[in-house]
Chains A and B, each alone.
Chain A
Amino acid sequence: MSYIKKPAARHPKLRVNSLGLTVRDYEGSMSTLCAGCGHDSVTAALVQAFFELEVEPHRLAKLSGIGCSSKTPAYFVSEAHGFNSVHGRMPSVAAGANAAHRDLLYVGISGDGDSLSIGLGQFCHAIRRNVNMLYLLENNGVYGLTKGQFSASADIGSTSKGGVANQQGPIDPVNTALSLGATFVARSFSGDKNQLVPILKAGLSHNGFAFVDVISPCVTFNDHQGSTKSYAHTRSHMHEVIETDFVPLKTEITTEYSEGSVQGITMHDGSVVKLHKVADEYDPTERRAVLDYLADVGSRGEIATGLLYLEESGADMHGFENTVDRPLVEIPFADLCPGSKGLEEVQKEWW
């Protein structure tokens, strides 16, 4: 990714959060993506979410694989460490990093090629492992950097820029994540920041793998008539199943509650996610029901969006591994090395 430093000009009336930072402080270098790229809107939503959540920039670790989507970690929070890894393998780097340092906030940015083709295995296993991270899949149905090949999320019949219709069935990341036991599954649209920002905030507060599939149109290769990942198609076929409000910890709502069509779920860090059901019969805590509902919506050619499934009580990777609460990187060497006495002990058995 090219490196273009942004001018440091700040509007004097910009809102400041409790860390003394403005929303501009959560920006990164200038995007080099195409003008109008959905990914830039996702970046903007992330910047807003970090600002509103008052994330300390240096406590954030941002990771990606390879592809247009994977360039975006450079475009937000310059003062956070970033890792642009290899194609499709970001989840393993995130898992290892999180294993070593559990106290940082992890955000992984991927795309449909990165997550559903070359990296499908790692994507699935990060879900199984329930790595504590926000995992964004910027989904445009197409390979942009290599100029317009279909990706594994392209729908049957969706056409390429040259007019060829895709014939192979898509891998639906939401369905995949749900069937693998993901504990936080959402779908949104880069063109709907109002929906996306609270979902991202909820995902950042989730204890475990928070998966957000964001339809993020490719203006250059997949925004034409005949594409099912275009701005126009997504807008006209979006079906918001659930509206999400994110209530941070400091507003002091501590108990779980349910009032009519609003369902509140207390997150691991004490914040509350309020889910307003658009459809009465929808229950975002019943995995099988969610899968059924989504199958119905999908069969009508509609795209269900919202925080579709949430389960806050499960163990994350550290729960499975029974790791100590403090980050492994902070344990002093003296506590790790058994010393000459330990060696003597072990060698008694080597006879």
Chain B
Amino acid sequence: MARESDYGVNDLGLKIATVNGTGSASANGLLLQALFRMGIPVSGKNVFPSNIQGLPTWYEIRVNKDGYTARSPDFQLIIAMNPESYARDIEEVVSGGWILYDNTRELDDEFRRDDVTFLGIPLADMCVEHFQGSRIRILMKNITYVGALVALLDIDMDVVKGMLQEKFASKQHLMDANFAAIEVGYTYALEHFDCPLPIRLEAMDKTKDCVMVTGNAAAALGCVYAGATVGAWYPITPATSVMDGFTEYCRRFRVDPDTGKNNFCILQAEDELAAAGMVIGAGWMGARAFSPTAGPGISLMSEFIGLAYYAEVPCVFFNIQRTGPSTGMPTRTQQGDLMLCAYASHGDTKHIVLFPADPKECFEFSIQAFDLAERFQTPTFVVSDLDIGMNDWMIPKLEWDDSFVPDRGKVLAADELEKVENFYRYLDLDGDHITARTLPGVHSKGAYFTRGSGHDKYGRYTEDSDAYVEVMDRLLAKVESAADHVPAPEIFETDGGKSVGVVSVGGCHWAVLEARDALAAEGIEIDYLRIKGFPFSQAVEQFLEDHGTVIVIEQNRDEQLKNLILLETSCAKEKLQSVRYYGGQPLSKGHVIEGVTPFLTREPVEVSQ
């Protein structure tokens, strides 16, 4: 059985198995925040079904004193609240771990394991005894297990109570019930178990300059800070909370105090096609406009995205990726839309894509996306995923420079138009591949026809080969020139550089970092580059050139990042190795180590100089 020495303080994987629709989310959030407020690095992952009520759902909390936040599948403690999922939940706890369950109805013997400790608490019975009404009994059962965990893990009770006070300040009866439930669970655990368990927690000071937020909320706030005024969308998991967040922050910051009217317009479209059309219409008028969606939405928007690319209308799309293809697993994560976003739409197209790795970058990249979209007059994608978007992440506090001026790109004002003899929409006057645009309603000299049909550099319809090619070549050069403006890759190099380099993207980052540290502790050092933007910059090209073997780690089946690298850089195919995980869970250290190990045992390849 477990010995104290097997476990470290503040190093714990905890999984809570409940039934969705029973109010467990708020209890789990409470728990996560309490740990965060104790100053302990923590991350939460919600593993939920595509369903409203009645199906199994899980919440995973990882506590790590060293600050690793990637998902870890090693659970020392499982709170098994759902008999329907007992079998797999109990199987998942590590040998020597603990299982907290409701013994109002005793466990069947088939679920028993000899190598773990069962902590039975009569949660249902106690809630029936202490609370009136079925709904409150169901809700308080969750708070009662939180109370038990306070004792079992040595969580700071004052922190927990303080949070309840904040939360229910205006609802005394709920506060009373929550307090009572916490006490009931706490007292029972103290009286019946040897508290705290060896996997106990201890206050630290590692979160004081941090905040806890989801990527979607941060992206939404980024849209507010970027000055976006029009948001169009169609509800879709896992992107819906981007628009929920935008709505919330707009109501807070964007309501005109004198009139009570909105300095924004949020349109819930009839489908993603319409959402894209609205964003393009607003972009045409000169508004900063965006649409949050997921892969299926990008598929539907693709025709419009081609129009915006060809007619050069700025617009921003957020793709909060979920598991595809088709409907796929809508509540699981993946990086399956890298190719889709890079080349969305028929014909020759290529788009600017930004890849945030956490909510901090969701905020920053969302602002940058609007600048890039307007500067390059082209659709720009922020490609996040369900794990980043919907889960709670601990990030350094966001910062804002009040002198920030948005880059609106080349837009001719009325007085500038007054001076020009003729305005031609697609005529590149200064050789940077970006042509000046005009906005409707400003000046009759600026009028032109925006169209997705063949056009020449003067903006006129054409079916002439040379005139068509001239515009298409400029478009390619224009988007490629964005490589120097997308966020630069983050590079982790060991002194002198190693022959093996890892390249990864987006939410893979945290597992890769953790795995890299673990390998380094064993004396295996690897270099690592995280791509943050597309088209790829020279720094990416250089890293590929500098390493004899490059292992591309990504979360999709078809090696999409690796293939993008092959298509868009001069890297030789033989150099590239692939590590893929695409089962729908966030990447963890184990996936990375297991994936890269075969390539590390090889003889190192000579680096070409």
Residues on the B chain within 8 Å of A98, using CB: 281
Contact of A336 among B212, B254, B277, B285 (CB under 8 A): B254
- The stretch among A209-217, A223-231, A300-308, A321-329 that forms the contact with chain B is A321-329
Residue of B nearest to A1 (CB): B461
Residues on the B chain within 8 Å of A181, using CB: none
- The stretch among B77-85, B393-401, B537-545 that forms the contact with chain A is B393-401
**A1-45 interface (Cβ within 8 A of B):** 1-3
Q: How far is the CA of A129 from the CA of B268 in the complex (A)?
A: 10
Does the CB pair A85–B254 fall under 8 Å? Answer: no
Q: Which of B252, B277, B287 has the most CB of A within 10 A?
A: B277
Contact of A96 among B253, B267, B270 (CB under 8 A): B267
**A302-336 interface (Cβ within 8 A of B):** 317-318, 321-325, 327-329, 331, 333, 335-336
Does the CB pair A324–B262 fall under 8 Å? Answer: yes
Report if A86-B452 is in contact (Cβ < 8 Å); known contacts: A92-B274, A322-B262: yes
The answer to the question of A290 belonging to the interface, with a C-beta cut-off of 8 Å to chain B, is no
Contact of B266 among A2, A83, A321, A351 (CB under 8 A): A321
Chain A nearest Cβ from B184, distance in angstroms: 27
Residues on the B chain within 8 Å of A340, using CB: 399-402
Residue of A nearest to B460 (CB): A3
Residues on the A chain within 8 Å of B402, using CB: 339-340
Contact of B278 among A3, A58, A93 (CB under 8 A): A93
Q: How far is the CA of A327 from the CA of B450 in the complex (A)?
A: 21
Chain B nearest Cβ from A17, distance in angstroms: 15
- Indicate the size class of the contact surface on chain B: 35 or more
Does the CB pair B450–A324 fall under 8 Å? Answer: no
Does the CB pair B400–A343 fall under 8 Å? Answer: yes
The answer to the question of A95 belonging to the interface, with a C-beta cut-off of 8 Å to chain B, is yes
Chain B nearest Cβ from A87, distance in angstroms: 8
The answer to the question of B99 belonging to the interface, with a C-beta cut-off of 8 Å to chain A, is no
Does the CB pair A350–B213 fall under 8 Å? Answer: yes
The answer to the question of B124 belonging to the interface, with a C-beta cut-off of 8 Å to chain A, is no
Residues on the B chain within 8 Å of A90, using CB: 277
Report if A1-B263 is in contact (Cβ < 8 Å); known contacts: A59-B441, A100-B285, A333-B227: no
Residues on the B chain within 8 Å of A58, using CB: 440-444, 446-447
When each residue 407-451 of chain B gets 1 if its CB lies under 8 Å from chain A and 0 otherwise, what string results?
A: 000000000000000000000000000000011111110111111
Q: How far is the CA of A85 from the CA of B287 in the complex (A)?
A: 18
Report if A325-B261 is in contact (Cβ < 8 Å); known contacts: A333-B406, A343-B400: yes
- The stretch among A74-82, A134-142, A171-179, A238-246 that forms the contact with chain B is A74-82
Q: How far is the CA of A82 from the CA of B440 in the complex (A)?
A: 9
Chain B nearest Cβ from A258, distance in angstroms: 35
Q: How far is the CA of A94 from the CA of B274 in the complex (A)?
A: 10
The answer to the question of A162 belonging to the interface, with a C-beta cut-off of 8 Å to chain B, is no
Report if A122-B270 is in contact (Cβ < 8 Å); known contacts: A93-B278, A329-B439: yes
Residues on the B chain within 8 Å of A3, using CB: 460-462
The answer to the question of B453 belonging to the interface, with a C-beta cut-off of 8 Å to chain A, is yes
Q: Which of B262, B283, B303, B461 has the most CB of A within 10 A?
A: B461
**B248-263 interface (Cβ within 8 A of A):** 249, 252-254, 256, 259-263
Residue of A nearest to B265 (CB): A99
Chain A nearest Cβ from B524, distance in angstroms: 37
The answer to the question of A163 belonging to the interface, with a C-beta cut-off of 8 Å to chain B, is no
Residues on the B chain within 8 Å of A124, using CB: 270
Does the CB pair A338–B224 fall under 8 Å? Answer: yes
Report if A322-B37 is in contact (Cβ < 8 Å); known contacts: A99-B230, A328-B230: no
Does the CB pair A324–B256 fall under 8 Å? Answer: yes
Q: How far is the CA of A5 from the CA of B201 in the complex (A)?
A: 78
Contact of B449 among A84, A97, A331, A347 (CB under 8 A): A84
Chain B nearest Cβ from A304, distance in angstroms: 29
Q: How far is the CA of A314 from the CA of B143 in the complex (A)?
A: 49
Residue of A nearest to B441 (CB): A104
Report if A97-B253 is in contact (Cβ < 8 Å); known contacts: A58-B447, A82-B449, A104-B440: no
Residues on the A chain within 8 Å of B253, using CB: 338, 342
The answer to the question of A279 belonging to the interface, with a C-beta cut-off of 8 Å to chain B, is no
The answer to the question of A237 belonging to the interface, with a C-beta cut-off of 8 Å to chain B, is no
Sample of 19 further A-B pairs with CB below 8 A, known A3-B462, A101-B285, A346-B252: A80-B444, A80-B447, A85-B452, A92-B278, A93-B278, A95-B277, A96-B282, A100-B286, A100-B289, A103-B441, A121-B270, A125-B269, A322-B260, A324-B263, A343-B400, A346-B221, A347-B397, A351-B33, A351-B37
- The contact sample of 9 A-B pairs, CB cut-off 8 A, is A84-B452, A86-B303, A96-B230, A96-B278, A99-B267, A100-B229, A122-B274, A329-B439, A337-B224
